[in-house]
């Protein structure tokens, strides 16, 4: 596996757990076969999420030391605001302590009973925040996104026919805004093309509906545009980012992804009245507008991270690392969602373990097998996370896809780590027939995957 070398070197290190297979079996049993309940100290390679898990640079750590913790008017806020304006180009910049708070502030202001919010695919927290405000979250992604092996350079694109059908059916007056998630996490970290962004904007203009971006992984999306879309080959990352955001009215952002920090987020808008209402709400629930639930030092780290993430050499090495893992697995017959996305590889558990019926949670069985084999922690995105009981029949309803997501933290793992991940997965793949399904012994009424306890069927 070869990919461009990392454009940085290591200055601080963190030890990795060394556990034996017997220890891992005991740990997993004690955790009720739920990887969320496993202590991070007992994980060898942690691919649970790329959110908040980035390694900060020496400049960001230095930035923490110049944190100005004044209640009002911290100098770090002004640096943060100036940087966000330079990249995103929006008038009003409202800090929040993470992405879902920005979502909550936005939707609790504009979404109500009878509202519909389209998106390519809503992330879980986005959908939950729309629904919490009694709106309906509607996914309008192109059909190719729903087929794990369909090859498409921009599998995160919005299907304009689906979007227009929704507007006509529900009425533009009931659609307070349209979202666009770049890259599209729930569809495999797949990018959206500039052409699609422009066309979406054009369509929305006909109906006077604002466009907001869920910008968590915007820099990764910019890189895909540069590599895959004609006319962008010679453009800088910053100019691509500025063009993307010029087609929108605002964005929500979890800086825990492409902000290269461990905590933080923000909301942007060009709408004065909306920004004023949200700022008033911010003061009630997060904090004063120049810190929004964050320390001054955190704002400084975000300001620096947002610039670093647009370094093309960094993006080249980051996206290539994920791609090489995917290509290596694919070349050895391991079924993955194609093409590899920007931040994660998704294993297709149904194809990996065809002998385990969906009622026995094949993706959870695969996630447990990866931990048992090599201490690798991924996350189940399948029947355990999205399955639910039909209120009418009491029967379990399962989602279309059964995946294990392996999200790669930014600037954290080396190629040797990624090779170890590939070898572990291939070794589990060779012995896949021995893997058994699971059953649930405890589940919470909502979001059961976080706290469920499971047991293997047949011991």
Interaction site with ligand PM9 (CB under 6 A): 49, 51, 98-100, 123, 125-126, 181, 185, 214, 216, 254, 256, 265, 407
Nearer to ligand PM9, 68 or 217 (CB): 217
For residues 126 and 321, which CB has a smaller minimum distance to ligand PM9 in the complex? 126
Nearer to ligand PM9, 302 or 353 (CB): 302
Q: How far is the CB of 48 from ligand PM9 (least distance, A)?
A: 7
CB of 129 to ligand PM9, least distance (A): 9
Minimum separation from the CB atom of position 317 to ligand PM9 (A): 21
CB nearer to ligand PM9: pick between 67 and 99: 99
Please, what is the minimum distance in Å from the beta carbon of residue 192 to ligand PM9? 12
The smaller minimum CB distance to ligand PM9, of residues 179 and 310, is found at 179
The least distance separating ligand PM9 from the CB of residue 127, rounded to whole angstroms, comes to 10
Comparing CB distances to ligand PM9, the nearer of 67 and 188 is 188
SS (HEC) of the chain: CCCCCCCCCCCCCCCCCCCCHHHHHHHHHHCCCCHHHCCHHHCCEECCCCCCCCCCCHHHHHHHHCCCCCCCCCHHHHHHHHHHHHHHCCCEEEEECCHHHHHHHHHHHHCCCCCEEEECCCCHHHHHHHHHCCCEEEECECHHHHCCCCCCCCCCCECHHHHHHHHHHHCHHHCCCEEEECCEHHHCCECCCHHHHHHHHHHHHHHCCCEEEECCCHHHHHHHHHHHCCCCCCCCHHHHHHHHHHCCCEEEEECCCCCCCCCCEEEEECCHHHHHHHHHHHHHHCCCCCCCCCCHHHHHHHHHHHHHCCCHHHHHHHHHHHHHHHHHHHHCCCCECCCCCCCEEEEEHHHHCCCCCHHHCHHHHHHHHHHHHHCEECEEECHHHHCEECCCCCCEECCCCCEEEEECCCCCCCHHHHHHHHHHHHHHHHCHHHCCCEEEEECCCCCHHHCCEEEECCC
**99 or 437, CB closer to ligand PM9?**
99
Minimum separation from the CB atom of position 298 to ligand PM9 (A) = 13
The CB-of-431 to ligand PM9 minimum distance in angstroms stands at: 28
Q: Find the shortest distance in angstroms from Cβ 47 to ligand PM9.
A: 10
**127 vs 353, which CB is nearer to ligand PM9?**
127
Which residue number is nearest to ligand PM9 in terms of Cβ?
99
């Amino acid at each position: 596996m070869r990919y461009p070398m990392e454009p940085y070197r290591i200055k601080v290190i963190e030890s990795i757990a060394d556990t034996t297979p017997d220890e891992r079996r005991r740990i997993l049993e004690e955790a009720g076969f739920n990887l969320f309940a496993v202590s991070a100290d007992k994980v060898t390679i942690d691919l649970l999420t790329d959110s908040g898990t980035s390694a900060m640079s020496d400049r960001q750590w230095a930035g923490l030391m110049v944190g100005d913790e004044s209640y009002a008017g911290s100098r770090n806020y002004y640096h943060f605001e100036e940087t966000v304006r330079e990249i995103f180009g929006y008038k009003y910049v409202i800090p929040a302590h993470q992405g879902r708070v920005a979502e909550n502030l936005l939707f609790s202001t504009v979404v109500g009973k009878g509202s519909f919010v389209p998106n390519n695919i809503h992330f879980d927290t986005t959908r939950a925040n729309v629904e919490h405000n009694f709106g309906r979250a509607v996914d309008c992604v192109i059909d190719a996104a729903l087929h794990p092996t369909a090859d498409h350079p921009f599998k995160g694109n919005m299907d304009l026919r689906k979007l227009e059908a929704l507007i006509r059916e529900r009425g533009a007056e009931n659609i307070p805004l349209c979202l666009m998630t770049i890259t599209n996490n729930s569809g495999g970290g797949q990018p959206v093309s500039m052409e699609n962004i422009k066309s979406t904007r054009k369509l929305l203009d006909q109906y006077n509906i604002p466009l907001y971006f869920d910008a968590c992984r915007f820099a990764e999306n910019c890189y895909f545009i540069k590599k895959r879309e004609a006319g962008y080959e010679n453009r800088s990352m910053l100019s691509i980012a500025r063009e993307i955001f010029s087609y929108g009215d605002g964005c929500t952002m979890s800086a825990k992804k492409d902000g290269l920090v461990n905590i933080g987020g923000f909301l942007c808008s060009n709408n004065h009245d909306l920004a004023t209402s949200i700022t008033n709400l911010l003061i009630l629930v997060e904090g004063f507008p120049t810190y929004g639930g964050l320390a001054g030092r955190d704002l400084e780290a975000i300001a620096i991270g947002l610039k670093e993430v647009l370094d093309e050499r960094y993006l080249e090495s980051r996206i290539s690392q994920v791609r090489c893992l995917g290509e290596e697995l694919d070349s050895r017959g391991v079924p993955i969602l194609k093409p590899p996305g920007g931040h994660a590889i998704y294993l297709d558990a149904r194809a990996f373990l065809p002998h385990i019926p969906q009622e026995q949670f094949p993706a959870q069985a695969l996630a447990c097998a990866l931990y048992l084999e090599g201490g690798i922690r991924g996350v189940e995105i399948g029947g355990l996370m999205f399955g639910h009981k039909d209120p009418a029949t009491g029967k379990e309803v399962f989602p279309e896809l059964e995946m294990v997501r392996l999200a790669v933290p930014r600037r954290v793992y080396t190629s040797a780590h990624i090779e170890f991940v590939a070898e572990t997965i291939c070794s589990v793949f060779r012995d896949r027939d021995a893997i058994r399904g699971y059953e649930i012994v405890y589940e919470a009424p909502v979001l059961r995957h976080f706290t469920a306890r499971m047991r293997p069927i047949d011991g």
